[in-house]
Structure formats: C-alpha cells, structure tokens
Structure 1
Amino acid sequence: MAMPQSAAPLPHFGAFEAPAGWRAIDFISDLHLQPSHPRTFEAFAQHLRHTPADAVFILGDLFEVWVGDDARHEGFEHRVVEVLKDAAGRRSLAFMAGNRDFLVGAALLQECGVTALPDPTVLRAFGEQILLTHGDALCLEDVEYQRFRAVVRTEQARSDFLARPLAERRALAAHIRAASLQHQQRDGRPETWADLDAGATVQWMRAAGTPLLVHGHTHRPATQELAPGFTRHVLSDWELDDGGSPVRAGVLRFSAHGLQRMAPSCGPALDSTP
C-alpha cells in the first residue's frame, strides 16, 4: 500500500534553462557502470562520442557505486572520467545523483566539465517544461529504503564515510552491494520492485507546473499517464553484459518534435538512430 502523500514533503525544485540554439537533449540513466560490464561501458562511451544531441543529461546511477571523488584518479573510475572529459569537449553534459552514486561531488564534476543537476530539476527547453528526477525519493512503498536514504544522505553520514581510507570505503561498498544483490534476488525481477507513488508524483508535478516527468531508477522503461494531463516517461536501464538479464540500453531524446525513444548511438557507420 502506498504511503500518504504527506510522507513525501515537497522538495526544492532546481531549474535549468536550455540555450536557444540547442536542437536535442538525450536523457539516460541507470547504466550502473562497473569493471565487470565492459560492453555497457563501451556503449556508453560510444554514445557520448557519436550522439548528434547538443547535450546528454545523466539522471542518476551512472556508476554501480561511487565511494568518493578521490576514486577518480585510478582504475576503472579513471577510464570513465576520461570518457566524460572527452565528451564534455564535444557537447554539454549534466549529471543528477542516483541512489548508487549520490557521493559524486563537485571535484569530479568540475574536472570532467559536467554540470550538476539538483534532484528534482525543472527543465525548460523547446517551449516545454519537464520535471527531471532520479526517482528513488518517490518510491514511498519501500519504507526500509526511505529510512536508509534519510540516514545516508545527511551531511554527517557523508562526512563520516568520506573520512575513511579509500580502500576501506571500497570494501564497505562491496559488502553493502552484496547485501543489496541478495535482497534483489529475494524480491525477484524489477517488475516486482517498489514503483513511484502516483499521488506524490503528481503532487510534485503540479507544484512544479510540469505536465511531463522523466525519471529512472525503476528499470521499467515505459510511458504512462499518471493522471489526466500528467505523463511520465521512465528511462531504460543499460544491461549489455549479464547473460541472465534482458539485454537492453535506451536513450530518450527530447527535441522540438517531442520525446522519442531510441537505441544508443554507436558511430557514423553503424548508428541506426535518426
């Protein structure tokens, strides 16, 4: 049963005004980049290199886990940083934190040339207003997660964690991730996981003055009417490596023609997207 709307107080809505010259914005989320998923990483890198969009907005969970910006100097994290820096020289990039990478900080984004997006943010572009959010804050039915989220997002909890040595943070993150995987296996496929509370979501949209919502987190790509005049577009997760899961990766492109779902760009010779 969904919790009452009063359980999700209205947040502060950030704002982003797209430059008049932009022709298209790509929305992506839930790539969960990690060393054991090289195909997903390569698809991400290829899309950032070859998309014709003027901007790519990453709406959370770019990383499977992020333990602090000092991790950016080595290993797999450094490879991702190099891709972001290269792409930011070609087009605008913006990042909104997800539940897996909420510890991404100003140091990483500044080095990569990426704009920080508050969660939620009202985007104004192409004569429309769209509300952008990762989505986890509105999954009110998952009471256990909301309690956990409220604790780990405090400044004190962040400071305490980031004060630990990097190796210790990596080990702790691996332990937490293993426990999360066990929990997911018990709960079954994403179709059985908690979804956004429809009432609270529409309340956000009304307050923001946006008839459209774009979000990730739930791994259930779809377009749905939540109430008359209020529609949400759920982004696809990216999973190109795990043989036990559906292979998929999707981009939601926003332009003067509206919102269009498509496959990631993969280069001039192979790209089948418009």
Structure 2
Amino acid sequence: MTIHDAAFAECVAPPGWRTVDLISDLHLHVDEPATFEAWCGYFETTPADAIFILGDLLEVWPGDDVADQPGFEAECVEVLRQAAQRRPIFVMHGNRDFLMGADFAARSGVTMLDDPTVLVLHGERWLLSHGDALCLDDHEYLQFRAQVRSPEWQQAVLARPLEERRALARSVRTQSEDRKRSPGMVWADVDADAAREWLRRANARTLIHGHTHRPAEHDLGNGLRRIVLSDWDAAAHPPRAQVLCLSVAGAQRVDLR
C-alpha cells in the first residue's frame, strides 16, 4: 500500500486486498451506547482486508489529549488500536472530529487520509471524501468550515484547557442540532457540477462520500456517479448500520442487522 500526492492524494491498494469496507457518520457518543456496541461488533465480524472511515467517526473530538483521561474517547481509541492490529484502518476528518491529529493516529494505529483521496483498487479509481466541502449551497457551514480548518484557529483552540474545549464542542453540537430542527431548514446536498469536476481531476468514475445522511446512488452523466454512505444509528427503528463493500465485483451495500 502506498500513499502519495497527485492531482489528489492516492492510496494504492496492495494486490492482496480483495475487499475493502467504507463507513462514515457513526457519530459515536457516550450517550448512544447501541451504536458504539454495533461498531465494536462490526470489527469482530467483517472479512474486509482494509477499512476506510470517511469522517464523523465521533460526534465530538475536542483534541487528542482527551484520550489521556479514562473515558469514552480513550475507549474508542483502544477499540481502534486493537482493530488496526488485524487490518489497516484509514480515517478521514469529518465536520465533527476535525481536531483529530497525529497523536490520535499514533495511539490508535490508524492512517489519516486527506480529503479527498483516490483509492486505487482492482484497477478502478474510487474518489473518497467526507462530502461536506462539496455542499456549496450551505454557505453558513462552509464559512464555519474554513475557520475551524485553519491552522491558526486550531492552534489557538488547542491551547485552551481541555474542559474549556469540551464546553465549546458541546456548544457547537447544540447549535448544530438546533439548526437541524429549525422550521424551514433545507438540507444542502453535494453540488453535482463540483462532484463532476472532482471526478475529472481524479480521473475517477465514482465519488463515495458521507455527510449528508442520505444513502443513495446518483447518476452524474457520462458514466460518472456518486454513492452516498449511510449514517449509523443502532437505536433507530429500524436500526441503521450500513457498510459499503468494494471488491472486484464493484460496490455493494451491506446492512449489519
């Protein structure tokens, strides 16, 4: 397996990889144990040769030092560490866990991915992204994203005490949930023209992303498409815990219930 820079970053699968799993938007949180348990169980049963987590693994990540203390975040890191001893695991930042850094990767044994990254598997080029950067109509969020992804903002925030960062994360989460429930809220979706441009630059035919929580497959024309991953909520009715499996046969959705 090699990762290198091209028009976009690339991850070239070794010949031994037969199947690869892609998941996203688990939003793991201490108050939602059913999804955490489903995630732990998934690692014990998947036959995949590698796992790609395309953002928002955790609902909140206030900084890598949160894993220094006993608690939910440290437990998640330990689950990843044990799983990464059995197969490669790759993690991409989402809009909730963008403060995951080098120490998180070292502790958990995962490899952090650029957004976007091209996965080269079985002769096919798959463009992977969390998807939030392509929601061009969500102007308010994109302004927020530009701010919190800047090195200056992150350095300033990470210099604050952990408890202060926890409070800030809770505030951001509350604001996000309130925004979802606001009357007349229109959910932004991935811009089709932007998706096609990314695919052109990546020399790929399929974009795979999460973020929107609307699992579907969209025809972008001229042989191009985008596949949207499902979010996870094991306490929902019916429960949601879906994996997209890539193999020599293509892409197949698998429900873990």
With the length of structure 1 as denominator, give the TM-score of the two structures: 0.88
Name the counterpart of 2:8. Answer: 13
From the superposition, tell whether residues 188 and 242 of structure 1 become closer, same or farther in structure 2 (CA, over 3 Å). Answer: farther
143, 149, 155: which one aligns with 1:153: 149
Q: CA deviation at 1:224?
A: 1.2
When the two chains are superposed, the root-mean-square deviation of aligned CA atoms in Å is 1.5
**1:53 aligns to 2:48 (yes or no):** yes
**1:84 aligns to 2:80 (yes or no):** yes
Q: CA deviation at 1:110?
A: 1.3
Q: CA deviation at 1:241?
A: 2.4
Q: CA deviation at 1:174?
A: 0.6
Q: Which amino acid aligns with 2:35?
A: T
244, 248, 257: which one aligns with 1:252: 244
Query: SS at the partner of 1:90?
Result: coil
Q: CA deviation at 1:89?
A: 1.0
Name the counterpart of 1:214. Answer: 208
From the superposition, tell whether residues 252 and 188 of structure 1 become closer, same or farther in structure 2 (CA, over 3 Å). Answer: farther
Q: CA deviation at 1:229?
A: 1.1
CA distance in 2, matches of 1:20, 1:75: 39
Structure 2 unaligned regions, length at least 5? 1-5
CA distance in 2, matches of 1:147, 1:230: 29
Q: CA deviation at 1:256?
A: 0.7
Identity rate, percent: 53
Q: Could you give the per-residue CA deviations for residues 155-192 of structure 1, whole angstroms, max 9, x where no partner exists?
A: 00000110000011001111111111110101578xx4
2:208/2:229 contact within 8 Å kept: yes
- Mean Cα displacement is larger for which, 134-143 or 107-116? 107-116
With the length of structure 2 as denominator, give the TM-score of the two structures: 0.94
Q: CA deviation at 1:108?
A: 0.8
Name the counterpart of 1:200. Answer: 194
Structure 1 unaligned regions, length at least 5? 1-10, 267-274
Query: SS at the partner of 1:223?
Result: strand
Query: SS at the partner of 1:171?
Result: helix
The 5 Å alignment of 1:124-135 reads 124-135=120-131
Query: SS at the partner of 2:182?
Result: helix
1:187/1:193 contact within 8 Å kept: no
Q: CA deviation at 1:240?
A: 1.6
Name the counterpart of 2:67. Answer: 72
Query: SS at the partner of 1:150?
Result: helix
Q: CA deviation at 1:12?
A: 5.5
Q: CA deviation at 1:104?
A: 0.4
Query: SS at the partner of 1:210?
Result: coil
**1:105 aligns to 2:101 (yes or no):** yes
Q: Which amino acid aligns with 1:46?
A: G
2:23/2:52 contact within 8 Å kept: yes
CA distance in 2, matches of 1:125, 1:111: 27
From the superposition, tell whether residues 60 and 124 of structure 1 become closer, same or farther in structure 2 (CA, over 3 Å). Answer: same
Q: Which amino acid aligns with 1:193?
A: W
Name the counterpart of 1:180. Answer: 176
2:7/2:201 contact within 8 Å kept: no
Task: List structure 1 segments (4+ residues) > 2 angstroms apart after TM superposition.
Answer: none
Q: How many residues end up aligned between the 2 structures?
A: 251
CA distance in 2, matches of 1:112, 1:151: 27
Q: Could you give the per-residue CA deviations for residues 204-250 of structure 1, whole angstroms, max 9, x where no partner exists?
A: 1011100011000000001111222111110000012256xx63110
1:212/1:230 contact within 8 Å kept: yes
1:12/1:120 contact within 8 Å kept: no
202, 222, 227: which one aligns with 1:228: 222
CA distance in 1, matches of 2:40, 2:241: 13
CA distance in 2, matches of 1:91, 1:151: 34
CA distance in 2, matches of 1:230, 1:187: 35
Q: Could you give the per-residue CA deviations for residues 115-157 of structure 1, whole angstroms, max 9, x where no partner exists?
A: 1110000110111000000000000001111111111111000
CA distance in 1, matches of 2:132, 2:60: 15
